[in-house]
Structure 1
Amino acid sequence: MGIVLAALTEAIASTVLALGRSDIIGDTYATPDEFAWLDIAYTAFKLIGFMTAPWWFKCFYPRHVILAATLIMGLACAGAALTAQLELLVLLRAVQGFAGATVLVGGQAILFRTYARAYQPVLQAVFAMGAVVAPATLAPALQGWLLDSQSWAWIFFCVVPLALMAAGLLLFVDAPVPRRHRARHFDWTGFVLMSCGLLCFTYVLSQGSRWDWFEAPRILWLTMLGTSALLAFVGQQLQADGERLLDFTLFKSSDFAFAFIVSFVAGAALFGSAYLIPAFALSVLGFTPTDAGLLLLPSGAVFCAGLLVSAYLFQARRIAPFVTVPFGILMLMLAMWMLSGSTSENGSDDMMAALLLRGLGLGFLFLSITLIAFSHLGNRTLAAGIGLFNTGRQLGGLMGVAGLQTLIDHNLVNNAVVLGTHLMPGSPALFERLSTTTALLASKGLDAEAAGRAATNLLGRVVSGQSMVIAFDTAFVAVVLLFAVAAPVLVGIKIGLGKYANGY
């Protein structure tokens, strides 16, 4: 329970900007480009934390590391709640990302090391409720309510008691006194190269759509710098002696290699759909932050149910984790296809069936790939495998969200142009629409000239709104097509890895 509560602190901190963007911008007097650094700092240092966390667990007792990371997360969130200075908030977000990554890697590694493999399906299902379900469903609902009733600072404040409760439970654990660990050499060269590459790619994937990708020199140069840094990092790791940040022996396990590849697709589906659905509710349906947050809450309950059903099948019925993967993918595809028919007249009831199906599909998918990835790793490589797997999922999520943002931005312009071609002067339908709206506004007290201008403006808003609806529907279809392309590729990769492992 201490580990789950610690993971929950990261879930709340990681999603605070999703709904609180406008409120935080107003209080910090930041431009949108300055505000973006809050998200870039958190995500980049979370990725760096995933890669460096295994080193901490080699040097120090794991429970002490996760305890320290949880307390640091609580302190960083308390500091963020008490300041509106942008530079300090960026620094605190970087600390939160690094601490949150350490909590996730350490918590999952401790569960695998402490309990027998037979109990891992249920344990990992419970852990996923705090690490995966909460940021996708529970955290947005809590944050929407706090934004409407209090302020964004209370989102950070609510992390503090959770961190203290998690630390208290971890302190009361009856565990043997740890032996003194000998300090190990830290690969500073690899760390600098890796950090440079991850920082560059986080900025590129987060801001690429904003700057029209390679039309902006900064995006081009950062892409080249990031690619060079990561290639140099891989080469340096291959040549390094002793302790390395990247453990290549992990890929000797065909199960881990397959799950690592799937983590990219799963991350794109999870983060991409978690971005699309609240954005559609806020920008198209006009939901309040509370309503947008509550929209995903029922699917969270189904997500948990899917995790528990999967755990029962794996643990009690001895079904192989691979069995539920295609069911999870098919459910996600069907859910996104159902959402692709949404209109501006939709409400939460119209979308609920698709959202529940999405939650069930994620439940079937995430527990299975977790068990596939880690069940056969030894204690020596377990933390490194968890860190690398989470890095892949996070990068997949960044790529998925970046692709969907770009698709929506381009389609908004294209759809408006296409719809505008049908609004030709002299068109009977256009004349009738403007005449009816003008007469209605004039009956409310506007003079004829003002009513005519207002009618034209209202028609422009309708065209813009319809363009946005079509753009989001296209984005939902894009997620379906992602799985349609990725599914046969993943099957082929699995077959190929199986043959390679068998020596063919």
Structure 2
Amino acid sequence: MTTAVVALPSRDKPATGALLVAGIVLATLTEAIASTVLSLGRGDIMGDIYATPDEFAWLDVGYTACKLIGFMAAPWLMTRINPRSLIIGSTLFMGTACGIAAITAQLDLLVTLRIIQGLSGGTLLVGGQAIIFLAYPKPQPILQALFAMGSVVAPATIAPPLQGWLLDTHSWTWIFFSVVPVALAAAGLLLIADGPTPATTPRRPFDWIGFVLISVTLFCFTYVFSQGSRWDWFEEPRILWLTVIGTATLLAFLGQQVMAKDQGLLDFTSFRSDDFTFAFVVSFVAGAALFGSAFLIPSFAVSVLAFTPTDAGLLLLPSGALFVGALLIAAFLIQARRVPPFATVPFGIVLIMVAMWMLSGSTSESGTDDMMPAILLRGLGLGFLFLSITLIAFTNLSSRNLASGIGLFNSGRQLGGLMGVAWLQTLIDHNVGGNVAVLGSHVTAGVPAVSERLTTTTAMLAAKGMDAVAASRAAMSLLGRVVTGQSTVIAFDTAFNAVALLFVVAAPALIAIKVGLSRYVKSQAEQSSEPVVLQPRPQVNRELDEIPLQAVPPNSGARPSRTERPRRQRSTHRGKLSLQACAPSTQAP
């Protein structure tokens, strides 16, 4: 079984607890910056390192796949390495890898550094959250809200504007440079703080077979989900083969874990908790909504509204404030007012649905003021949703399987995000082509409005000095761009609607899952506590009942000897007493 540390902070230095939490939150910020560096700086990085799209894809695939692998390996590492030392080492590895990435332009070295960054990021996220849960079990709502600021809020709202500003004013290398001081500050705080005391746990060997199988699985599925849309999915043989290989290794991994039992890589006993199972499913859907909406909003702003990277990043920044506010409000309600975590989950889902529905009405003329109310509602809903499912998932887990539960939970959220982004990319690509065909069929020269538009545009271009033939061709080209632009707007609106409809479909399914899990647990509890049926007392001969009991005179000090006491002999029939056991002794007292 996977065992985790029992963290016991020092009571002599209460301030070190705050330093420990602050160091962990800063460590998660390094992962937040490194994980989103490719979202806005893709074009700049590809140009500077002279990489093709296929080569550049490995920078993203390597990081994401190794981050998932880090989620899986961190529970075992926590049984071999002091938890505080593990987080400090992961943070320093992250800072060093980012510092080297900022000064190199070699693609092979960058891929290697991204692999190191991914492993470090996955390890420090699982280790940090496990330490907070085990060291301070009582104030969990507020502490998990603080942890979510670094692990969820930062990559979704804070990192994009920072990266956009660095891209517009400096270079993409400064994004990697910015990780170094944050990593040093986090490591310094963790060194000063009193580390949790690890409990003495039996060491178990590392499951190399399971590790290799799950690593191959995650690499295959990460590549398929991140690059499948670009290659038109199964029309490309490599996507098909990677899907087959990933599925086969996943099945082999699950079978190997069942055979390994307590010596496996992961501890799946977390799924015996109905709360954890329910929260795992919700995190999968919530990950699709979080990462999907974080992909849609900046992409729409850049590709349709022609925002700069800085403006696109600043578009999400105000929602981060409401995200944090919702986390703190939910923490107060759960901790101070004793509101059950399940109460805020529907509220968060409804807010996200409304926000996505509002964004589905965006046009090419929309601006920041038009989109801001929906973006703010999105941040508010995500805050209420993520804190609740975190507390639901881990509150009832024991210290033995908590680290494995955190790794599985984060893996589910990350995989949900990968699938959500891949689904939305495919939806947009297919809808753009279909919308162009539909709109183009209505934009013909025989339509009076189209003819008037072409005539006006041609005359305007001719007035600028263009030749009549060239002006006519340019007018047709401009009209085609308008059609493509409107097709893109419709495709994005459809994608926003799809995220809202995702919850419409998922909400009843989640409720059914929760009800089913509750009934299953209740039935298991009833079976385990089933009362023992007693056999009826046998009818004893009345003559035996009429024999008087032999009494011992008071204060005589005489007690029957061991040989004088009547013996009870077990009958061959369960639940029935032997008549010999009921008969009096034949010896005199």
Asked if these proteins are the same fold (TM beyond 0.5), I'd say yes
Give the Cα–Cα distance (whole angstroms) in 1 for the partners of residues 489 and 478 of structure 2: 17
Residues 349-498 of structure 1: pairs in structure 2 closer than 5 A:
349-498=369-518
| Secondary structure of 2:183's aligned partner | helix
Describe the shift of the 1:177–1:400 C-alpha distance in structure 2 as closer, same or farther (beyond 3 A).
closer
Give the Cα–Cα distance (whole angstroms) in 1 for the partners of residues 61 and 174 of structure 2: 22
Aligned residue identity for 2:330 = S
CA contact (8 A) 1:59 1:181 kept: no
Would you say 1:48 and 2:64 are equivalent positions? Answer: no
Describe the shift of the 1:471–1:110 C-alpha distance in structure 2 as closer, same or farther (beyond 3 A).
same
Give the Cα–Cα distance (whole angstroms) in 1 for the partners of residues 399 and 64 of structure 2: 27
Aligned residue identity for 1:489 = A
Residues 144-293 of structure 1: pairs in structure 2 closer than 5 A:
144-175=164-195, 184-293=204-313
CA contact (8 A) 1:60 1:181 kept: no
Give the Cα–Cα distance (whole angstroms) in 1 for the partners of residues 195 and 497 of structure 2: 50
- In our comparison, the structure showing a higher alpha carbon Rg is 2
Would you say 1:6 and 2:17 are equivalent positions? Answer: no
Residue-pair matches, total = 503
| Secondary structure of 2:400's aligned partner | helix
Residues 128-147 of structure 1: pairs in structure 2 closer than 5 A:
128-147=148-167
Percent sequence identity over aligned pairs:
70
Per-residue deviation, residues 251-272 of structure 1 (Å, max 9, x unmatched):
1111001001111100000000
CA contact (8 A) 1:307 1:367 kept: yes
CA contact (8 A) 2:131 2:196 kept: no
Task: Report the Cα offset of residue 56 of structure 1.
Answer: 0.3
> Where in structure 1 are there 5+ consecutive unaligned residues?
none
Task: Report the Cα offset of residue 166 of structure 1.
Answer: 0.2
Give the Cα–Cα distance (whole angstroms) in 1 for the partners of residues 203 and 90 of structure 2: 19
Give the Cα–Cα distance (whole angstroms) in 2 for the partners of residues 498 and 180 of structure 1: 35
Task: Report the Cα offset of residue 179 of structure 1.
Answer: 7.8
CA contact (8 A) 1:59 1:184 kept: no
Per-residue deviation, residues 90-117 of structure 1 (Å, max 9, x unmatched):
1111110110011110110010011132
Residues 18-33 of structure 1: pairs in structure 2 closer than 5 A:
18-33=39-54
Task: Report the Cα offset of residue 440 of structure 1.
Answer: 1.2
Aligned residue identity for 1:115 = Y
Aligned residue identity for 1:15 = T
Give the Cα–Cα distance (whole angstroms) in 2 for the partners of residues 435 and 31 of structure 1: 42
Give the equivalent residue in structure 2 for 1:17.
38
Give the one of 511, 514, 521 matched to 1:501. 521
Aligned residue identity for 1:384 = S
Please identify which structure carries the higher helix content.
1
| Secondary structure of 2:348's aligned partner | helix
Give the Cα–Cα distance (whole angstroms) in 1 for the partners of residues 51 and 264 of structure 2: 40
Aligned residue identity for 1:13 = A
Task: Report the Cα offset of residue 372 of structure 1.
Answer: 0.1
Per-residue deviation, residues 150-173 of structure 1 (Å, max 9, x unmatched):
000000000000000000000001
Task: Report the Cα offset of residue 241 of structure 1.
Answer: 4.3
CA contact (8 A) 2:84 2:195 kept: no
CA contact (8 A) 1:121 1:367 kept: yes
CA contact (8 A) 2:37 2:175 kept: yes
> Where in structure 2 are there 5+ consecutive unaligned residues?
1-21, 525-589
CA contact (8 A) 2:84 2:196 kept: no
Give the one of 79, 84, 100 matched to 2:121. 100
Cα-Cα RMSD: 1.2
Give the Cα–Cα distance (whole angstroms) in 1 for the partners of residues 199 and 432 of structure 2: 60
Would you say 1:120 and 2:137 are equivalent positions? Answer: no
Give the equivalent residue in structure 2 for 1:84.
105
Give the Cα–Cα distance (whole angstroms) in 2 for the partners of residues 291 and 391 of structure 1: 31
Give the Cα–Cα distance (whole angstroms) in 1 for the partners of residues 329 and 227 of structure 2: 39
CA contact (8 A) 1:59 1:182 kept: no
CA contact (8 A) 1:374 1:386 kept: yes
| Secondary structure of 1:240's aligned partner | helix
